[in-house]
Chains A and B, each alone.
Chain A
Amino acid sequence: MRRREFLGALAAAAALGAPLGAARAQAARSLYDPPPFGNVSFLHFTDCHAQLLPTYFREPSANIGVGDAAGRAPHLVGEHLLRHAGIPVGSPEAHAFTYLDFEAAARRYGKLGGFAHLATLVKRTRAARPGALLLDGGDTWQGSATALWTRGQDMIEAQKLLGVDLMTAHWEFTYGEKRVQEAVKGLAPIEFLAQNVKTADFNDPVFKPYVMREMNGVPVAVIGQAFPYTPIANPRHFVAEWTFGIQETDLQKIVDEVRAGGARAVVLLSHNGMDVDVKLAGRVRGIDAILGGHTHDGVPVPLVVGNSGGKTIVANSGCNGKFLSVLDLEVKGTGVTDFRYRLLPVFSNLLPPDPAMQALIERVRAPYKAKLEEPLAVTEGLLYRRGNFNGSFDQLILDALMAVKDAEIGFSPGFRWGTTLLPGQPILREHLMDQTAITYPQVTLSEPTGAEIKAILEDVCDNLFNPDPYLQQGGDMVRVGGMTYACDPAAKIGARVFDFRIRNKLIEADKRYKLVGWAPVAEGAKGEPVWDVVEHYLKDRKTIPARSPNVPKLIGVERNAGLA
């Protein structure tokens, strides 16, 4: 009923293009002042990917769930998601959570996120919840030009000013062990938690696994879970001395330990990805809530998963600074008895920027401003990345790589970060960096055989569609240019991808093909940074026509609620 009230008020103020007025203030109040509940509160954001400024971010139209995850959150897109969450079509919330009518809705409701706007929302939410902890799920130090150029330092300053209490990590590790250790030393008062990162030799913990805090007289524990597959999904040489993994047994031990130590509410700050969190919640006892990230799922209604010890709330707070999770728990002598949860979209038009954060953002951008804001070309079409198989921005990257490097096939990694541009927007250098800012940006050429190409695609596809979430890595399918194929997500590895063709001609198992890619995980890979290659292409073209992404012919998923 509260949901309905605030949606109603928002709908009334739907014409957000109108000047700031009473309706908009009313909408902001209804949306951003959920009544406090209980005695323990956690605020959570995750996977902001270093986006200090408000951005557009198109949610996926393909987020297919397989096995037990089929038809279940987070594998609901578009209208399936709206129906499930009771969100009216055309509402601001529908824009925040789905790709529907993206361009028109984006123009109507404006950009989301931005640390200055997020800071205002955090302050406002905290004011009504004294003692609330702010948790950051990681992927905070990577994803923008300034984060790459300062090795995450701009984001660390922003995290401190925002008032982050605790964080865990994933892409942070791609700056290498040394940088992470050094950054963690300077992170106070923020604590960096990861129960599942150990030394590779003797399995000693590298970071603090958890903290115990008292909130309004209630002892609570927060355990950190870093991305378990960091050395697999990203180059292992960055973290050669450390080992990761889900480490369920050790996690159970910690939960038992904090419970024995008096914790009456236990939260897992997780970078597992939502499907992994759902499986884990069914197997590990004693966690009240998992505040999760990694898979970038903005899930308006959390799942409640039963296990042998009781129930665990599983939430996932989206990405790009678009959302702030508010979890209010009622904790009594025995533990958690009830909860309220909201995933609040950060509409930059509804939340005035926090002046101190705005000043910080301007300060960290100042030395790079001209470089960041140099226009490279203008896009005529919508440019976005997110989706299981491809996005128009990835297609542009593929087209650029294949053209500049004269390759017949292009591969681009299935990252889930990267901002969206509307038709007519200039592509600034920082927009290109939003898609490419990583510490292993080399463009590589190779000549694999047709059989090897199939093996690579099968391998990546299994990391996306293996029915066991513990065997998934949480990225999307490698984007493929120059070659078409078919994909049956429910099939087993080896039979999932087939019918590979170049210009309609079947590729041959023994024949070699010239393939261009980027983001090599092998140590010592050489090549030009991808942003230089794509920039060359953009400056040469000046105007970028709309393009539709090359996606495989999909088999057996026509009725999947994760596919529009």
Chain B
Amino acid sequence: MKQSRRRALKAGGGAGVLALLCAAGVVSPGDVLAQSGNQAAFAMKTVREAMRALGAQAPAVSAAIQIKASEIAENGAVVPISIESKLPGTESITLLIEKNPNPLAASFTIPAGTEPNVSTRVKIGESSDVYALVKAEGKFYMAKKEIKITLGGCGG
């Protein structure tokens, strides 16, 4: 099972990941791509503007949201980030990269009954705070983590 997953990924590259996860029923294409209503938010230049465009005004920091990512990115071009929400009634999970030209990197709607745990890979140009914005029972919450981008070398 594991081996075939891996072969499929190698063959298909990035698109393969998406196709396969969709095929496996993890997410539907509509969840992965921006909902039409979010398009304005994706165009925003700052985290604050993007959050506002999504309707989030000063979201509260919540310890029930966990961002899982390496403290120092192994490769800034593809940084794996997972976000898990333990907030009851989680409706959406949004990822924002503060220092990217357009901070809003991905937004996932979470259908009722789905485990609110998403993973994606994003490009990060320079060391930056990343934000996880979660909408749960109609209210917005967030968590933050710093990810460092470095040239590498010279270690140890």
Q: Across the interface, do A294 and B154 meet the contact criterion of CB distance under 8 Å?
A: no
Q: Across the interface, do A463 and B74 meet the contact criterion of CB distance under 8 Å?
A: no
By a CB distance below 8 angstroms, the chain B residues around A244 are 70, 74
- Which residue of A is nearest B6, CB measured? A201
Q: Across the interface, do B154 and A233 meet the contact criterion of CB distance under 8 Å?
A: yes
Q: Across the interface, do B71 and A521 meet the contact criterion of CB distance under 8 Å?
A: no
Q: Across the interface, do A232 and B155 meet the contact criterion of CB distance under 8 Å?
A: yes
Q: With A229-B155, A243-B80, A478-B154 in contact, is A202–B70 under 8 Å at CB?
A: no
* C-alpha gap A459/B127 in the complex (Å): 11
Q: Across the interface, do B75 and A475 meet the contact criterion of CB distance under 8 Å?
A: no
Q: Across the interface, do B68 and A249 meet the contact criterion of CB distance under 8 Å?
A: yes
* C-alpha gap A456/B150 in the complex (Å): 9
* C-alpha gap A492/B72 in the complex (Å): 17
By a CB distance below 8 angstroms, the chain A residues around B2 are 202, 204
Q: With A459-B151, A462-B150 in contact, is A171–B68 under 8 Å at CB?
A: no
By a CB distance below 8 angstroms, the chain A residues around B6 are 199, 201-202
Q: CB within 8 Å of B: which of A409-464?
A: 413-417, 455-456, 459-460, 462-463
By a CB distance below 8 angstroms, the chain A residues around B68 are 249
Of A12-20, A57-65, A351-359, A466-474, the stretch lying at the interface with chain B is A466-474
By a CB distance below 8 angstroms, the chain B residues around A493 are 127
Majority SS at the chain B contact face: loop
- Which residue of B is nearest A171, CB measured? B156
By a CB distance below 8 angstroms, the chain A residues around B74 are 231-232, 236, 243-245
- Which residue of B is nearest A414, CB measured? B154
By a CB distance below 8 angstroms, the chain B residues around A456 are 151
By a CB distance below 8 angstroms, the chain A residues around B146 are 468, 471
Report the minimum CB–CB distance from B121 to chain A (whole Å).
10
Check: B152 CB closer than 8 A to any chain A CB: yes
Report the minimum CB–CB distance from A375 to chain B (whole Å).
29
Check: A30 CB closer than 8 A to any chain B CB: no
By a CB distance below 8 angstroms, the chain A residues around B155 are 227, 229, 232-234, 413, 463, 473-475
Check: A496 CB closer than 8 A to any chain B CB: no
- Number of A residues contacting the other chain (C-beta, 8 Å)? 46
By a CB distance below 8 angstroms, the chain A residues around B73 are 232
Check: B37 CB closer than 8 A to any chain A CB: no
- Which residue of A is nearest B8, CB measured? A201
In which size bucket is the chain B interface?
A: 20 to 34
Q: With A202-B5, A233-B155 in contact, is A463–B80 under 8 Å at CB?
A: no
Q: CB within 8 Å of B: which of A59-74?
A: none
- Which residue of A is nearest B151, CB measured? A459
Which one of A199, A460, A474 has the greatest number of beta carbons of chain B within 10 Å?
A: A460
Say which residue of A294, A463, A474, A520 sits within 8 Å of B150 (CB atoms). Answer: A463
Q: Across the interface, do A473 and B72 meet the contact criterion of CB distance under 8 Å?
A: yes
Q: CB within 8 Å of A: which of B1-16?
A: 2, 5-6, 9
Q: CB within 8 Å of B: which of A171-225?
A: 171, 199, 201-202, 204
Check: A44 CB closer than 8 A to any chain B CB: no
By a CB distance below 8 angstroms, the chain B residues around A414 are 154
- Which residue of B is nearest A243, CB measured? B74
Q: Across the interface, do A415 and B148 meet the contact criterion of CB distance under 8 Å?
A: no
Say which residue of B70, B71, B80, B156 sits within 8 Å of A474 (CB atoms). Answer: B156
Check: A80 CB closer than 8 A to any chain B CB: no
* C-alpha gap A227/B155 in the complex (Å): 10
Name 15 A/B residue pairs within 8 A (Cβ), A-sorted: A201-B5, A202-B2, A229-B72, A232-B155, A243-B74, A294-B156, A413-B154, A415-B154, A460-B153, A463-B154, A470-B72, A473-B72, A473-B154, A473-B156, A521-B153
Taking Cβ atoms with an 8 Å cutoff, the residues of A that contact B are 139, 170-171, 199, 201-202, 204, 227-229, 231-234, 236, 243-246, 249, 294, 413-417, 455-456, 459-460, 462-463, 466, 468, 470-471, 473-478, 493, 519-521
Taking Cβ atoms with an 8 Å cutoff, the residues of B that contact A are 2, 5-6, 9, 66, 68, 70-75, 80, 127, 146, 148, 150-156
